[in-house]
Structure 1
Amino acid sequence: MKLNHAVLHVIDLDSGISVMSDRELDVESRAVRTFVSGHVKRARNRPDARRSTFRESSAFAGELSNYLFGTREFLDIAHQVGEFLSGELIRADKATATDVLIVDCTDDEDARWFAILLLESKQAYMHEVSHSGDRVANDIRRRFAILPNPSQKIASFALIRTSSLEIFYQDVMRKIAGEDRMLIPEGLLECGEGASASETITSVSRAVERVAEDHGTNPAVAVARVKTALVDAVTEDDELPPWEAVDAAFEDEPVMREAVRSALQEEQIPERVAVERTQIERPQVRNQRIKTDTGITISFPAELAVNTDLIEFVQEPNGLLSISLKNIASIENR
């Protein structure tokens, strides 16, 4: 990933004072590159990221376009973003100290992105070395404003693909001036709510599980069949078609298929959801995780649920269920 521009603003909610940086981060610095690239890449690959577009009335879309066309400087628009977020977060209930990282970057596929990441500061204990004359003393001090590690998830971010102005975002509900709302999509970007790949798959899985239980079908197998069909059904345009996947999964079971379709309608699952193929192919999406009432947890690739040579679910005469794992060459402790 190439970092074109990056800046970090500090919002100190304890003092109510924000520090807007007048200088960009040194993107040639190894520490800056590692930290910034790590967070942007992690956000970019989040399967729970919602995909959306700007509303026609979005003021930010116009400001961003001006920047992309070269009529605004990076620090100018970055200051505007920082000032807006600072003003809103200072009015929020139970808000924590937050740094705002704003980035203009180009990924490994030559796609350019404008990224806004809210980095909530943490408290941490660190060692401190002090000198008194010729004596050295080591102590423990509590420090604030510790930024999240690049390997950590962050709760709020937005990535905008500059070529199409598509938005990938994730946010949390905040109470701001007595009103519950999401700051990034509703306040800053003014974009549609959108949907995420993981949310869609979770909703579809929940509907399938409920129908399977009502029809006396093994829910684990039914859900695994649909998850496999969902992954296989991602089109060349990177769209997830839940309804088509359900039709494919239950092609030979018309009663089950119609029941699931009714459940999808109740859940208001759209016919197509825009996704990124890399998000769908991640293990947490492709894998099926089940837990028995005896406390045993099993995780396996969803497509294996219908392969009885490797895993088999058996309904015993006494009404209980058995799970057989077969043809195992070795077992690892994890």
Structure 2
Amino acid sequence: MRILNVIDHILDKDSGNVVLSQKEIAKDNLEISNYVEKVIDKFEKSEYVELELSRIPMLEQFWNGRDDFQKLTEKFALDYFDSIKVNEKIPGGDLLFFNVELENLSQMIGIAKLDYTQRYIHNVEYDEDVLVNNIVQNNSILPSPSQGVKNMLLIDGDKIQLREQQYTGASGKWLMSRDFLNVAAVPIKVSNNVKQIKKSIQKISEKYDDGDDFTITSKTQQAIHDSIETDGVIDNDYIADVVFDQKEEAKAEFKDQLAKKAIEPVVTVPNVDYFEKKYERQKIKLDNGIEINVPISLLKNRDAIEFETNPDGSTSVVIKNIGSLKSQF
């Protein structure tokens, strides 16, 4: 990755001013280059939604006019500040803009709102010529790249990847896509779709007495993971076949419930790697306090783990063929 342009503008909500940088940060600044790389990497390993660039004229203009990067960032920062200043729950922060060249020589533009956090720092003071080391609160600490950025977007050709947080205060709700970018309808996050899929399956399984909660949950997670891994989507027809097997009435009811919740038969997954990793392990909590974190691929492997029902109705978990044990403290 090569930095082409990078500039930072300050949104000072305390003073009610925008401090516009009059010059870009030097391209050969290794510290800022590392910061931008880590911010992008953290973003791409998180959940985001994907939109067509043509749906957002403001960003389409930004992309097409990126040769005039400085002026575009100034206008964006001023307009953004006007949008957030009325909502008391939105913290001040910096707007970091960057234009980078990727390894395939294509360009990508990023806009990240770096919210301020409060931290205590030391401060060297003098009291009548006597040096005093004091501790003070700094209200303008920027997030480290490892924390991730709550409001950020990447423009990559004709696509936009968007991550955002909703703020709710006395002045109402504020969402960047709706209240600033004027997007009429943002795609539902994949994780929200998955929650609704799980709820529907659990409800229908209870109705048809289709097994215990653990078995149903495991089947559902396995099916979701396999669908993403194989096709890069969540195929709800496939999930219904795996979970409900030959119960056609249950399958039909499941599909009907999803339709009522406006969940498509095939859910697009824009960041496949993130969700493959998210669902590749099943956390099992036992009522005696033991927790087991099992790779989803081993749940059906009886040579690795087996669940046995005892005569008294309790369940034993048998973990097999262990070559070594390690205790992590």
Question: Is the shorter-chain TM-score for this pair beyond 0.5, marking a shared fold?
Answer: yes
Alignment deviations for residues 75-134 of structure 1 (CA, whole Å, 9 cap, x no partner)? 111112211211111111222121111121234455532211111111111223457899
Is 17-26 or 253-262 further displaced after alignment? Answer: 253-262
Give me the whole-angstrom Cα distance separating, in 2, the residues matched to 1:109 and 1:293. 52
What secondary structure is seen at the aligned counterpart in 2 of 1:306?
Answer: coil
- Cα contact 2:118–2:140 (8 A) shared by 1: yes
Partner of 2:10: 10
Matched, 1:25 2:25: yes
Distance 1:126 1:145, change over 3 A: same
1:40-59 equivalent positions in 2, closer than 5 A? 40-46=40-46, 48-54=47-53, 56=55, 58-59=56-57
Distance 1:131 1:187, change over 3 A: closer
Distance 1:178 1:140, change over 3 A: closer
Matched, 1:87 2:82: yes
Give me the whole-angstrom Cα distance separating, in 2, the residues matched to 1:260 and 1:321. 29
What secondary structure is seen at the aligned counterpart in 2 of 1:27?
Answer: coil
Give me the whole-angstrom Cα distance separating, in 1, the residues matched to 2:88 and 2:58. 25
- Cα contact 2:240–2:254 (8 A) shared by 1: no
Partner of 1:289: 283
What secondary structure is seen at the aligned counterpart in 1 of 2:307?
Answer: strand
Gap runs ≥5 in structure 2? none
Partner of 1:233: 227
The partner residue of 2:262 within 268, 272, 291 is 268
Give me the whole-angstrom Cα distance separating, in 1, the residues matched to 2:74 and 2:294. 47
Give me the whole-angstrom Cα distance separating, in 1, the residues matched to 2:171 and 2:229. 43
Give me the whole-angstrom Cα distance separating, in 1, the residues matched to 2:305 and 2:203. 22
Provide the TM-score with structure 2 as the length reference.
0.85
Distance 1:211 1:278, change over 3 A: same
Distance 1:180 1:24, change over 3 A: same
1:144-155 equivalent positions in 2, closer than 5 A? 144-155=139-150
- Cα contact 1:309–1:327 (8 A) shared by 2: yes
1:292-303 equivalent positions in 2, closer than 5 A? 292-303=286-297
| Matched-pair identity in % | 20
**What count of residue pairs does the alignment treat as equivalent?**
325
Distance 1:52 1:290, change over 3 A: farther
What secondary structure is seen at the aligned counterpart in 2 of 1:25?
Answer: coil
Q: Which amino acid aligns with 2:281?
A: N
Q: 1:49 deviation in Å?
A: 0.8
Gap runs ≥5 in structure 1? none
Partner of 1:193: 186
Q: 1:289 deviation in Å?
A: 2.3
